[in-house]
Amino acid sequence: MATTAPRLERQIGASGLPFAVRGLVWGLIGFVLGALVTMLVRGLAGSPAWRTDQMVVIGFLFSVPSFVLGVGAWETWGRGWVGLETVDYDPPGWRQYFGFNLDHKVIGIQYLVTFIAVFILAGAVAMLMRTELMDPGRTVLGPASFTRFMSLHGFLMVLVAVTAVPGAFGNYVMPIMVGAEDMAFPRLNALSFWLWPPAVLLLLSSPFVGGWDSGWTGYPPLASVNNLGQIFYALAFVVGGLSSIVASVNFLTTIVKMRTKGLTWNRLPIFVWSILLTGALSLFFTQSVAVAVTMVTLDRIFGAAFFDPLLGGAPVLYQHIFWFYSHPAVYVMVLPSLGVMLEILPVFSRKPLFAYKWAVGGIIGISVLSGVVWAHHMFTVSALSDANAGFMLSTEAISVPTGLVFLSAIGTIWRGKLWMKVPMLFALAMVFNFLIGGITGVFLSDIPADFQLQDTYWVVAHFHYTIVGAGIFGLFAGIYYWFPKITGRMFDERLAKVHFWMMFVGFNVTFLPMFWLGLNGMNRRIADYQPDLAPVNLFVSLAGFFLGTSFLVFLWNFIVSWRNGPPAGSNPWGARTLEWVTSSPPPKLNFDGEPEVLDDPYDFAPDAPPHAVLRTGGER
Amino acid sequence: MDDRRRDLVMAGALWIVFVVLGVLLVRNFDLLPALRSEEGAEVDLAFNTLLLYTVPVFAFVLTVLVYAIFRWRVADPEAGDQTRDVRAFSWGWFIVSAALATLIFFTPGLSGFLALQSASAQEPDLTIKLNGVQWHWDVEYPEADMALEAPREILLPVDRRIRFELTSADVIHAFWVPAFRLKQDAIPGETTELIVTPTEVSNFEDDSNVRLQCAELCGTGHARMFLRIRVVEPDEFDAWLAGGPMDGMDMGGDGEMDMGGDGAHDEG
ipTM comes to 0.93
Q: Pick from A259, A347, A275: which is nearest to A572 by CA? A: A347
Amino acid occupying residue A254: T
Q: Which residue in B76, B81, B263 is closest to A416 by CB distance?
A: B81
Average pLDDT over chain B reads: 91
Residues A111 and A173: beta-carbon distance below 8 Å: no
- How distant, in Å, are the alpha carbons of B128, B148, B257 from that of B137? 12, 9, 9
* Residue spans per domain, chain A: 15-85, 105-564
Cα distance between residue B123 and residue A135, in whole Å? 44
Q: Which helix (H) or strand (E) holds B191?
A: none
Does B257 have pLDDT greater than 60? no
Interface check for A49 against chain B (CB to CB < 8 A): the answer is no
Cα distance between residue A518 and residue A125, in whole Å? 22
Cα distance between residue A412 and residue B82, in whole Å? 9
Phi/psi for B260 (5° steps) reads 60, 25
User: Mutation test of the interface with chain B: which of A347, A421, A452, choosing the one with the most B Cβ atoms within 10 A?
Assistant: A452
Predicted pLDDT at B244: 62
Adjacent-strand bridge partners of B185: B174
Residues A193 and A244: beta-carbon distance below 8 Å: no
Q: Which residue in A384, A528, A529 is closest to B116 by CB distance?
A: A384
Q: Pick from B27, B2, B19: which is nearest to B63 by CA? A: B19
A145 and B267: CB-CB below 8 Å? yes
Q: How far is A311 from chain B (nearest CA, A)?
A: 10
List, in sequence order, the alpha helices (H) in chain B.
2-28, 40-72, 87-104, 111-121, 234-243
At residue B34, the 3 state secondary structure works out as coil
Predicted pLDDT at A174: 98
Predicted pLDDT at A15: 84
Cis check: omega of the bond before B135, within 30 degrees of 0: yes
Q: How far is CA A37 from the centre of its chain?
A: 35
| Contact residues for A514 (Cβ-Cβ < 8 A; gap 6+) | A457, A458, A460, A461, A464, A540
Which residue positions in chain A have pLDDT lower than 50?
1-3, 6, 8-9, 619-620
Cα distance between residue A477 and residue A463, in whole Å? 19
Which 468-527 residues of chain A touch chain B by CB within 8 A? 515-516, 519-521, 523-527
Q: How far is B142 from chain A (nearest CA, A)?
A: 23
Q: For the segment B36-58, what is each residue's pLDDT rounded down to a tens digit?
A: 999 999 999 999 999 999 999 99
Which residues in A9-67 belong to E strands, given as ranges? none
Interface check for B98 against chain A (CB to CB < 8 A): the answer is yes
Predicted pLDDT at A616: 85
Q: Which helix (H) or strand (E) holds A584?
A: none
B4 and A399: CB-CB below 8 Å? no
A451 and B181: CB-CB below 8 Å? yes
Amino acid occupying residue A157: M
Residues A473 and A426: beta-carbon distance below 8 Å: yes
Predicted pLDDT at A491: 98
Q: Which residue is closest to A139 within chain B, CA to CA?
A: B262
Helix, strand, coil percent content, chain B, rounded in steps of 5: 40, 20, 35
Cα distance between residue B222 and residue A147, in whole Å? 9
CA angle B200, B201, B207 (to 5 degrees): 90
b/e map A411-426, b = 16+ CB within 10 Å: bbbbbbbbbebbbbbb
Q: If one looks up domain A105-564 in CATH, what number appears?
A: 1.20.210.10
Cα distance between residue B127 and residue B191, in whole Å? 13
A310 and B189: CB-CB below 8 Å? yes
Q: Pick from B58, B119, B98, B155: which is nearest to A451 by CA? A: B119
Cα distance between residue A446 and residue B104, in whole Å? 8
CA angle A249, A250, A254 (to 5 degrees): 120
Give the number of C-alpha atoms closer than 13 A to the C-alpha of residue A490, restricted to the C-beta side.
Answer: 13
Interface check for A149 against chain B (CB to CB < 8 A): the answer is no
A448 and B172: CB-CB below 8 Å? no
A-chain CB neighbours of B223 within 8 Å are 143, 523, 526-529
- Do you know the residue count of chain A? 620
Q: Pick from A147, A239, A149, A171: which is nearest to A201 by CA? A: A239
Q: Is A560 exposed, middle or buried (0-12, 13-18, 19+ CB in 10 A)?
A: middle
Cα distance between residue B5 and residue B170, in whole Å? 65
Q: How far is A121 from chain B (nearest CA, A)?
A: 23
Q: Which residue is closest to A416 within chain B, CA to CA?
A: B80
Q: Which residue in B72, B115, B190 is closest to A416 by CB distance?
A: B72
Tell how strand B153-157 and strand B226-232 pair up: parallel
Task: Give the CA radius of gyration of chain B.
Answer: 26
Write out A174-226 in H/E/C secondary structure. HHHHCCCCCCCCHHHHHHHHHCHHHHHHHHHHHHHHCCCCCCCCCCCCHHHHC
Residues A112 and A516: beta-carbon distance below 8 Å: no
Q: Which residue in B54, B93, B176 is closest to A523 by CB distance?
A: B176
Interface check for A135 against chain B (CB to CB < 8 A): the answer is no
Helix axes A422-445, A315-349, angle to 10 degrees: 150
B101 and A435: CB-CB below 8 Å? no
CA angle B117, B121, B122 (to 5 degrees): 130
- The CA-to-CA distance between both ends of chain B, in Å, stands at 72
Cα distance between residue B199 and residue B1, in whole Å? 60
Predicted pLDDT at B181: 96
- Per DSSP, the residues of A406-468 read HHHHHHHHTT--EE--HHHHHHHHHHHHHHHHHHHHHHHHSHHHHHHHTTBHHHHHHHHHHII
CA angle A475, A103, A601 (to 5 degrees): 55
Predicted pLDDT at B263: 37
Phi/psi for B214 (5° steps) reads -70, 130
Task: Give the CA radius of gyration of chain A.
Answer: 24
Residues A414 and A354: beta-carbon distance below 8 Å: yes
Predicted pLDDT at B245: 55
Cα distance between residue A163 and residue A158, in whole Å? 8
Predicted pLDDT at A217: 97
Residues A460 and A126: beta-carbon distance below 8 Å: no
Residues A64 and A240: beta-carbon distance below 8 Å: no
At residue A394, the 3 state secondary structure works out as helix
- Do you know the residue count of chain B? 268
- How distant, in Å, are the alpha carbons of B39, B152, B212 from that of B255? 32, 9, 17
**What dihedral angle (degrees, nearest 10) is formed by the CA atoms of B112, B117, B122, B128?**
110
DSSP label of A261: B
CA angle A303, B222, A159 (to 5 degrees): 70
